[in-house]
């Protein structure tokens, strides 16, 4: 198998599951923790691979499960970093907390 084909397969499997990691934690608070998200990603990918094997569609490999799970967890990490940054920015007593306040001037 050519290196280009393998690289395309790996990148495709990772990128395919990034949206799962991005969207699920936003919609369901339970999946903002790593273990539930990891279980969902690995379980979902495993179910896809089993269905490929049962129905003879595509090729079922453990590599796909690993790369799909990696993609979902990468998306999860991006969402969690963004939410943590937002919480810090909006937290009272932090440098960014005053950014959203209305400034009142005297005599206007």
C-beta separation of 55 from 48 below 8 A: no
Provide the pLDDT confidence category of residue 4 given band limits of 50, 70 and 90: confident
Indicate the pLDDT class of residue 88, thresholds 50, 70 and 90: confident
Which of 37, 48, 33 is CA-nearest to residue 70? 37
In this predicted structure, the answer to whether residue 68 has a pLDDT above a threshold of 80 is yes
Per-residue pLDDT tens for 6-44?
A: 899 899 999 999 999 999 999 999 999 999 999 999 999
Residue 49, both tokens: 């691979």
At 38 the three-state DSSP class reads: helix
Q: Report the mean per-residue pLDDT for the chain.
A: 88
Question: Roughly how many angstroms between the first and final C-alpha of the chain, as a whole number?
Answer: 73
Q: Which token pair is 30?
A: 């339970």
Query: At residue 74, does pLDDT exceed 80?
Result: yes
């Amino acid at each position: 198998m050519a290196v280009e084909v393998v690289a395309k397969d790996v990148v495709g499997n990772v990128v395919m599951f990034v949206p799962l990691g991005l969207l699920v934690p936003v919609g369901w608070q339970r999946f903002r923790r790593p273990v539930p998200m990891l279980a969902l990603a690995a379980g979902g990918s495993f179910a896809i691979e089993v269905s490929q094997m049962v129905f003879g569609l595509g090729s079922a490999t453990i590599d796909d499960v690993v790369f799909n799970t990696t993609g979902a967890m990468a998306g999860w990490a991006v969402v969690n970093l963004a939410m943590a940054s937002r919480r810090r920015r909006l937290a009272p007593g932090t440098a960014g907390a005053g950014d959203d306040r209305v400034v009142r001037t005297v005599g206007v």
